Chain A
C-alpha cells in the first residue's frame, strides 16, 4: 500500500489522485481527438497543448493539496493560483462519507466527503485518499471530542494529535454495540418485494421502445396463420390478429404484459443487489456506520443524534412475507444535496421480528413492543371510501357514455372500493411512546414514522374541503431535512378537535426540550 507522504503531520492525497483526475478529462479528450482526426493538424497541436497544460495543472494541484488533523480541527490547504486554507472545527463535522467508484475500488482508494451542519453542501472533499486512510479519517473525525485516534488499523494511526492510540474500534466494545449485515439472498428478496411501481409504469410508458426487444414476431408466428405473418410489421400484424382471432390477440397481450412485469421485477432485483451489495450497519458509541454498494462502494457514518426520524417501509408484498425496510432521515447536509442522500437506508430488508433491534440501535430508549396504536377518526373510513367511489362512478359513467349502459355494471366495483377503504383505515394510526411520536399510513406501501419529540420543528394541521366537511384534518409533523412533503411524518384524518389538542400537547413538550437541534 502506498503510504501518503508525511511532514509535520501534513499529508498529501493518495498518489493515484493525478491519474484519477486526468481520467475525468479523458472523455473530453476522446471527443477532441475524434474531431481533430477528421480535420486540420493545427487542432491536434492545440489539443496536445491543452493536454499538457491540464496535466501540469493536475500535478500542481495534487502537490499543493495538503491536509492535517489537529486536536481541534481538520486543516486543508490547497490551490494552484489562489492559495486557500480551510479550517474545519471537528465539533462541526456531522458526517464523513467515503465513496469509491469501480476504478477507485480497483486502485484501493476512496473519496472522502466531509459534511458540516449549516454548510451549503459538502464542506470538503478529499479526492482521493487510500482506503485505510479514509477509514482512519472518518473514525478520528467522528470520535466524539475524545482526544484519541480511533484507528481501524493500528499501524495507520499516527501521532498528529499528540497521542497515539492503537486500540482498534472492535476492542472498545460497548454494551450498546449493534452490527448487522445483509446477505445477497436477502437483497434479492428486498428487490423482489420493493414497491417500485414507478419503475413498472416507466417500463410500460417506454414500452414502445422495449417492444423491439420483446419476442413479438415469435409470438405472432405461433398465434397466426403463417400467410398473415409479415416480419418487421409487428403492429400491423397485431391489428390483423385482433381482427382475425381475438382470443389469440388477447393471449398475446397477456403474455407481453407478463413479460413487462417480469422485466421490471428483474431490474428491481438487480438494482437492489448492486446498490446494497455487502450491506453492513454498525452502531457503536452513538455512531452509525453504513458500508454498501457493488460498483460504487459507499461508507457513511454519522452520529445517532443527527437522526431526525426513522421510517419503516412495508409494501403489501412485504407485509405478507413479514418483512420491512428501514430508513433514517438525517440533517446536516446542505440544500445542494440530492434529496435521496438525506435518507440513509438503515437496512434494505429485515424480518419483522428484527425491527426492534434496529430501532434500539438508533433510539435506545424507544419501547417499540409496548406501543399502543390509536386509529384515525372513524369518519376517515367514509372519506377514504368516497375518494375511491368517486373514481369508480366517474369511470363507469364515462364508459357508459362511450360503450352503452352495460358499462354501468362496473358500479359493482363500489363493493371492493369499500373493502379497500376499510383496509386502508386499519393501516392509519398514531401513537405516543415516551419521548416519541409514531405515525403510520399507507395501504399498498405502509410507512411508519418514528419522530423524537425533541426533533419536531413545526406542526401543521391541514384540511381539504372534504375533510373539513367531515370534521377531520391531517396533522403534519415537520422535522429538519425533510426533502419532500409526501414522505413526511403525518397522521391522516384525525378529528379536528383531537388534532388541535395533540398540537397543543406536543408544542408544550417541544418547548420543554429547549433549544436542541
Chain B
C-alpha cells in the first residue's frame, strides 16, 4: 500500500506548532488573569503555562511522525482502501461503485508545500473517513480524475 507524501509531516508539524502557540498564549493569559484577580501566590508561577507549552510542543513534533508511519492508502480498480490510526486503528474500504464524487482541496499551508487532499464522498454520512490528506498536488489531481472516470464508465451499461 502507498504512504502519504513525506512532506505531510511538515504540514502537520507546522499546524501543530501553530495550535500549540495559540493554546499556550490562551492558557498563559488565563493564568495571569486568574493569579492577578485572586492574588494567590502559586509555588511555581507559570507552571501550568509551561506544562501546556511543553506538552503541546512535544505532541506537535512527535505525533505527525507517528501518524505518517501508520497511514496507508491504495486505489484499486474496484475499491479504495485507507488504513490509519496510531492508537485507534482503522481500515476503510470504499467500493468504487459507491463513490459519488471526488474533491481535491488544499489549505494555504498545503499549497505552499505543494500538497493536496483528496476527499472521496459516498452517500454514507461519514464521508470524512475517506480523506487522503497529504498527497503531492499532481498525484491528487490524477487520482481525482481517475476515480471520476470509472463512475462515468459504469453509468452507461
Contacts and interface: CB of A to CB of B under 8 A. Distances in A.
Contact of A515 (B79, B87, B94, B154): B154
Contacts of B89: 462-463, 468, 473
A513 B97 contact: yes
B66 to A, nearest CB: 14
Interface residues of A, number: 30
A483 B92 CA distance: 19
A500 B93 CA distance: 10
Contacts of A510: 95, 97-98
A465 B91 contact: no
A461 interface: yes
A331 B130 CA distance: 20
Interface in B69-124: 78-79, 85, 87-98, 122-124
Contact of A480 (B78, B88, B90, B124): B124
Contact of B123 (A500, A514, A517): A517
A204 interface: no
Contacts of A464: 87-88
A479 B154 contact: no
B154 A458 contact: no
A479 B124 contact: yes
Interface string A442-467: 00000000000000111111111100
Given A507-B95, A511-B79, A511-B95, A462 B90 contact: yes
A296 to B, nearest CB: 27
Interface in B113-157: 122-126, 129-130, 151, 154-155, 157
Interface string A145-164: 00000000000000000000
A460 B126 CA distance: 11
Interface string A466-504: 001000010000111111010000000000000010010
Contact of A461 (B78, B91, B155): B91
Contacts of A468: 89
Contacts of B157: 514
Contact of B93 (A331, A483, A503): A503
A482 B97 contact: no
Given A457-B98, A462-B90, A515 B124 contact: no
Interface in A246-276: none
Given A463-B89, A515-B97, A507 B124 contact: no
A89 B89 CA distance: 44
A331 to B, nearest CB: 7
Contacts of B129: 458, 460
A459 B126 CA distance: 11
A481 B124 CA distance: 6
Given A480-B123, A483-B125, A462 B97 contact: no
B93 A459 contact: yes
Contacts of B85: 463
B139 to A, nearest CB: 22
Secondary structure at the B interface, as helix, strand, loop or mixed, is mixed
A459 B97 CA distance: 13
Contact of A460 (B91, B97, B151): B91
B79 A478 contact: no
Contacts of A461: 90-92
Given A460-B129, A510-B98, A511-B79, A500 B122 contact: no
Contact of A331 (B78, B123, B126, B154): B123
A465 B88 CA distance: 6
Given A457-B98, A460-B91, A513-B97, A482 B78 contact: no
Contacts of A481: 123, 125
Contact of B78 (A459, A463, A511, A515): A511
Nearest to A463: B89
A456 B123 CA distance: 9
B90 A463 contact: yes
Interface in A279-303: none
Contact of A482 (B79, B93, B124): B124
Given A461-B91, A468-B89, A511 B126 contact: no
A458 B88 contact: no
A459 B78 CA distance: 14
A457 B97 CA distance: 9
Contacts of A462: 88-91
A485 B97 CA distance: 23
A465 B97 contact: no
A502 B90 CA distance: 15
Contacts of A485: 126
B155 A515 contact: yes
B94 to A, nearest CB: 5
Contacts of A507: 78-79, 93, 95
Given A460-B93, A479-B124, A507-B95, 18 more contacts: A456-B95, A457-B94, A458-B95, A458-B129, A460-B90, A462-B88, A478-B122, A478-B124, A478-B125, A478-B126, A480-B125, A481-B123, A482-B124, A507-B79, A507-B93, A510-B95, A511-B78, A515-B155
The 7 closest A-B pairs by CB, nearest first: A457-B124, A480-B123, A478-B124, A457-B122, A510-B95, A463-B89, A461-B91
Interface of B: 78-79, 85, 87-98, 122-126, 129-130, 151, 154-155, 157
27 contacts: A331-B123, A457-B122, A457-B124, A458-B92, A458-B94, A458-B95, A458-B124, A458-B130, A459-B93, A459-B94, A460-B93, A463-B89, A463-B90, A465-B88, A468-B89, A473-B89, A478-B126, A480-B123, A480-B124, A482-B126, A485-B126, A500-B91, A503-B91, A507-B78, A511-B96, A514-B154, A514-B157
Interface of A: 331, 456-465, 468, 473, 478-483, 485, 500, 503, 507-508, 510-511, 513-515, 517
